[in-house]
Amino acid sequence: MNGPIWRLIRLSRPVRGRLVVSVVFGVLALGSGVALMGTSAWLISRAAQHPPVLMLMVAIVAVRAFGIGRGVFRYVERLVGHDATFRILADLRARVYERLERLAPAGLPAFRGGDLLARLVDDVDAVQDLYLRTLLPCAVAAVVGGASVGVAWALLPAAGAVLLATLLAAGLAAPWLSAAVARRAERRTADLRGELASHVVDTLHGAPELIAYGAAPARLAEAARIDREFTRATARSAGTAGLGAALSALAGGLAVWGGLATGVPAVRDGTLDGVLLAVVVMLPLAAFEVVNGLPLAAQYLERVRASAARVFAVLDGPEPVRDPDEPVRLPDGPHTVRVTDLRARWTPDGPWALDGVSLDLPPGRRVAVVGPSGSGKTTLASVLLRFLEPADGRVTLNGTDVRDLAGDDLRTVVGLCAQDAHLFDSTIGENVRLARRSASEEEIRDALRRARLLEWVDALPSGLDTRVGEHGAQVSGGQRQRIALARALLAGFPVLLLDEPAEHLDTETADALTADLLAATEGRTTLLVTHRLAGLDAVDEIVVLDRGRIADRGTHAELAARPGIYRSMWERERAAPAISVP
């Protein structure tokens, strides 16, 4: 079987021993409970025949032992079970991470939205419930239930059969019925539930506009109408919602009733000793405790199945880039990157993001790639980093096709400072040091100086040890990009790609950052991807991309002098701040 649940079960192999120990103690605990009632029933029946007390000693000791054993065994079961679960979780996280590492960034749909990514991480954490809250209780219930049936069968086969049938009804049929009924109700109300949820979310997010325009009461009335409809639909399914619980209660009662119905005639015809009649009746009463935890386990199973399906859907995605089995050795520097007739796209049947692009990056040359959004600029950077496989054409490093190199090797030469460079929830110093673990504080300060950030950092009370917060939320957008730039500079990549480093910043900050970037990368092989043109007179060549093709190329002076996309972009950018009052 290849369902998500089975794959999760296979993942538990390294801790299987611990899980088994946990099940054993769980069986002993629950078994103690059942045995306590069975032994007590015998003890009382036997006592009613007024034997010498000595004859009862074994039973008395056993009753007391079972009374103590249940709590103690349960304690061990819980400890071992939790320990095993944490071990699985650590392993699972690492495995998921290793797979994500191969998929990132192009193969991960989750990266398109932070929410989806957070949900993936939640889903990974949620699957641990499978082991602790589903597998263990089910295994324990199966063993103890089976043993109870066995004991009843040995006493009186008919009573065993009754117990087996009723346990199956309560343990399997009732949870199944509950789940089926809930699924049917859910199908009937899912659309209304979705409509209500999006209406509520929309109302809360748009509340300022609703209030400003006096439209809140009408909107709330609409929400109330959908809510009433949804509540009515939910209430309609109430009648069936209790069927599972009713079946479970009926089965429990029938087990006891069946014990009497089979036991009484057996006592009369001598096949059952009268002393054991109470045991045959009370055993089902106690044994039904095993099915108590099953509805909850079934609920968790549903939740885990949904989470696991989402996790595996991401993990099973195709790897966007395959490293060669035997990578070629990285050519020595100085490095020349050459792009020849490159075509690339993000999905096998999607539109061409790059359609026949050629480009030379000899040592020390600085090239800017400009164009409107959607022109393929970021795709070019992704191919150069081997985050995306070229569909056609070649990218070479000193003549070696980059497809023959290990991705990690290539990325020691070609580095990136991205528009959405991630800052880790740590200090400024640690975020910069990520580029080179061995860097001294002086080197880090030097990188910050070149990114024009050192003065600001030194003015902070904690300096380099200032925390940047989650996703760098504690620092401004401009500072965030400069920290990322300092990191890229510290890494000292021979070829540096800058992908829209000034995106998301206001115009003034953006232009200042671009100027500093160009100053800091002087003499280094650089590819600057941007849609703002200010400061580009400093680069050696500008390549104008439009819908994946090179529309024009040349220096700033040449391009600004002739009509074309570049000149109209340039004129619009310069004109924007200067519209006069009519």
**In this structure, are strands 400-401 and 392-397 parallel, antiparallel, or unpaired?**
antiparallel
CB of 266 to other proteins, least distance (A): 10
Q: Considering only residues 320-359, where is the footprint of other proteins by CB under 8 A? A: none
Assigned token pair, 246: 């009713």
Q: String of b and e for 364-387 (b: at least 16 CB within 10 Å)?
A: ebbbbbbbeeebbbbbbbbbbbbb
> How many residues lie near other proteins (CB under 8 A)?
155
> What residues are paired with 541 via a beta bridge?
367
Considering only residues 154 through 183, tell me which ones interact with other proteins, judged by CB under 8 A. Answer: none
* 152 contacts 284 by C-beta, under 8 angstroms: yes
CA–CA distance, 43 with 63 (Å, rounded to integer): 9
* Terminal-residue alpha carbon distance, the chain: 74
Residues 6 or more apart from 322 whose CB is under 8 A from it?
389
Pair 140, 30: CB distance under 8 Å: yes
Which tokens is 188 given?
A: 């009937």
> Which of residues 408 and 458 has its CB atom nearest to other proteins in the complex?
408
Site string for other proteins, 13-32 (x = CB under 8 A): ----------------x--x
- The one-character DSSP state at 467 is B
The Cα–Cα gap between 534 and 553 comes to 17
Which among 42-50, 301-309, 338-346, 555-563 is the span making contact with other proteins, rule CB under 8 A?
42-50
Closer of 51 and 333 to other proteins (Cβ): 51
Note whether 9 binds other proteins by CB under 8 A: no
The DSSP call for residue 171 is I
58 touches other proteins (CB under 8 A)? no
In the complex, least distance from residue 242 CB atom to other proteins, rounded to whole angstroms: 3
Helix (H) or strand (E) holding 369: strand 366-370
Minimum CB–partner distance for residue 509 and other proteins (Å) = 11
The least distance separating other proteins from the CB of residue 128, rounded to whole angstroms, comes to 11
What mask of x and - would describe binding to other proteins in positions 188 to 207, judged by CB under 8 A? --------xxxxxxxxxxxx
DSSP label at residue 391: S
Site for other proteins, residues 295 to 324, rule: CB under 8 A = 296
DSSP string, 185-215: HHHHHHHHHHHHHHHHHHHHHTHHHHHHTT-
Q: Is the peptide bond before 334 cis (omega within 30 degrees of 0)?
A: yes
Say if CB 529 and CB 535 are below 8 A apart: no
How many C-beta atoms lie closer than 10 Å to residue 97's C-beta?
A: 11
Contact between 531 and other proteins per CB under 8 A:
yes
Among the listed residues 9, 24, 74, 553, the single contact to other proteins using CB under 8 A: 74
Phi, psi of 152 (to 5 degrees): -60, -40
**Contacting range for other proteins; rule: CB under 8 A; set: 70-78, 325-333, 341-349, 358-366:** 70-78
CB of 251 to other proteins, least distance (A): 9
Using the minimum distance from each CB to other proteins, give the nearer residue, 355 or 432.
Answer: 432
- Of the pair 48, 561, the CB lying nearest other proteins is at 48
Interface pick for other proteins out of 109, 113, 150, 242 (rule CB under 8 A): 242
578 forms part of the interface with other proteins (CB under 8 A)? yes
**Strand, helix or coil for residue 480:** helix
The correct pick among 245, 306, 313, 519 for binding other proteins (CB under 8 A) is 245
Burial code (b: 16+ CB inside 10 Å, e: under 16) for 522-553 equals eebbbbbbbbbbbbbebbebbbbbbebebebb
Within residues 118-157, the interface with other proteins by CB under 8 A covers 118, 120-122, 124-125
Residue 260 touching other proteins (CB under 8 A)? yes
Q: Binding string to other proteins for residues 207 to 226, with x set by CB under 8 A, is what? A: xxxxxxxxxx-x-x--xx--
C-beta of residue 424 within 8 angstroms of C-beta of residue 483: no
Nearest approach, Cβ of residue 430 and other proteins (Å): 12
Residue 43 or 444: which CB sits closer to other proteins? 43
Picking from 136, 141, 10, the residue whose alpha carbon sits closest to that of residue 82 is 136
Q: Tell me which of 9, 104, 139, 192 binds other proteins, using CB under 8 A.
A: 104
Q: Which of 20, 58, 72, 473 binds other proteins (CB under 8 A)?
A: 72
**Which of 252, 320, 371, 501 is close enough to bind other proteins by CB under 8 A?**
252
Residue placing its CB nearer to other proteins in the complex, 139 or 406: 406
Q: Between residues 67 and 356, which has the closer beta carbon with respect to other proteins? A: 67
60 binds other proteins (CB under 8 A): yes
In the complex, what is the shortest distance from the CB of residue 341 to other proteins, in angstroms, rounded to a whole number? 26
Among 231, 333, 460, 522, binds other proteins (CB under 8 A): 231
* Three-state SS at 430: helix
Q: What is the DSSP letter of 427?
A: B
461 belongs to the binding site for other proteins (CB under 8 A): no
Helix (H) or strand (E) holding 284: helix 277-287
Of positions 12, 40, 514, 521, contacts other proteins by CB under 8 A: 40
* CA separation for the pair 579, 198 (Å, rounded): 41
Q: Quick check: 434 binds other proteins (CB under 8 A)?
A: yes
Among residues 3 and 245, whose Cβ is nearest to other proteins? 245
Residue of 246, 313, 519, 561 interacting with other proteins (CB under 8 A): 246
Question: Among residue numbers 393 through 432, which ones bind other proteins (CB under 8 A)?
Answer: 407-408, 411-412, 415-416, 418, 421-425
Question: How far apart (Å, rounded) are the C-alpha atoms in residues 7 and 4?
Answer: 5
Output 13 or 341, the one with its CB closest to other proteins: 13
Closest CA to 8 of 115, 188, 130: 130
CB of 77 to other proteins, least distance (A): 9
